[in-house]
Amino acid sequence: MRCALALSAFIIATSSLSFASDTLRLTTLHWPPYVEESGEGPNTNTVRSTFARAGIEVDVQLFPWNRAIMLAADDPNWIGVYPEYYSADIDAEASGDRCLFSRPFGNSPVGFLTPSNSSFDWDTHDDLRSYVIGVVRGYVNEAKLDQMIADEDIVGELAENDTQNILKVAARRADAIVIDKNVFNYLKAEDAGVAFVADSLQFHEKLLINHSLYVCFENSSAGREARELFNRHLTTSGDEGQSDPGLPNTQ
């Protein structure tokens, strides 16, 4: 019995040491100011520093968002993807099977951008039926709004990226667009086209949702172990996400 217990302890210890010696590979996207074109940025800094406290290096690579998701879910060379919004539909511990969600490590305040002199206003989702709402193709914004657009209860105007979406509302091709407030402020400062129209736009005071941000780890034993290490070493100061975890899915 003592030999068996000693052998078990040795196996566990060596397995843990082997895992800790590896470099974990994570996918992400260019989503400033959260993740810059270099792959660095506040979100990457938090992910790197969290794993560094566990003695693990992180290799990060940018991809188009749908490819970043696919690689993290299906390619064993990649252990996870960030930043994700929560969705039970993809949570392997809820009603989905795609990935395992970490503790939240940041926030994404999402709301409506409108022309400055617009009459746009809303209190409930039913109020939005009166407007054309601009959204970025492939983005998940907020569960009820996305479902109403899918059901054609709300008219959705599709854009290919946030910059195009902003220019559309500035040209009044939409009554309002859905955008992360921090993303708009970044583009206003860094993108000449957005800066040119920014003074004619305003961010509505009522948020659509304040998403928490997560790492979505591969649904596997390796992904579960990486998630456990991340959660264990995520500090209180780095854990900015305090929203209800029952929030919608990805960027």
Which residues constitute the domain of residue 123?
107-210
Count up the domains in the chain and report the number: 2
Contact in structure between 37 and 30 (CB atoms under 8 Å): yes
Structural domain includes residue 249: no
User: How far is the C-alpha of 58 from the C-alpha of 233, rounded, in Å?
Assistant: 14
CA distances from 213 to 2, 71, 95, 193, 229 (A): 45, 19, 19, 28, 17
In a domain, 126, yes or no: yes
Q: Which SS3 state, helix, strand or coil, does residue 189 take?
A: helix
Gap between the Cα atoms of 97 and 8, Å rounded: 30
Q: Which pLDDT value is given to residue 19? A: 52
Give the pLDDT of residue 198.
98
- pTM for this prediction: 0.78
Q: What is the mean pLDDT of each run of 10 residues along the chain (251 residues)?
A: 45 43 89 94 97 96 92 95 92 94 97 97 98 91 95 96 96 98 97 98 98 97 96 71 35 40
Pairing label, strands 155-159, 132-136 = parallel
Give the integer Cα–Cα distance in Å for 80 and 28: 9
- Residue count of the chain, please give it: 251
> Do 122 and 137 belong to one domain?
yes
Q: Tell me, what's the pLDDT at 137? A: 86
What is the reported pLDDT for 33?
Answer: 95
Q: Determine, yes or no, domain membership for 239.
A: no
